[in-house]
Amino acid sequence: MAPYVPHTLFDEIIRVYQLKNDAALARMLKISPANISRFRYGRRPIGASVILAVHDTTNWPIKKIKELLNDGY
């Protein structure tokens, strides 16, 4: 199983949507900046609610989101 790398998902959203930083990402996903930091640095796992927030905001398929997380679902 590949390592869990949440920063890949966040970096891709920032790149595609041309966001300035994690604070802009947090606003876009309606998640607190502190939680984005916790997710990014592995202090908190990304659960279904975050995956759904990304899906609802970006309209990306769940499969793509999980592949970017590389979490082996």
DSSP, residue by residue, 6-69 = HHHHHHHHHHHTT--SHHHHHHHHT--HHHHHHHHTTSS---HHHHHHHHHHH---HHHHHHHH
How confident is the model at residue 44, as a pLDDT?
92
Q: How confident is the model at residue 73 (pLDDT cuts 50, 70, 90)?
A: very low
Domain 6-69: top CATH class? mainly alpha
What's the whole-model pTM score? Answer: 0.88
Mean pLDDT of 40-62: 94
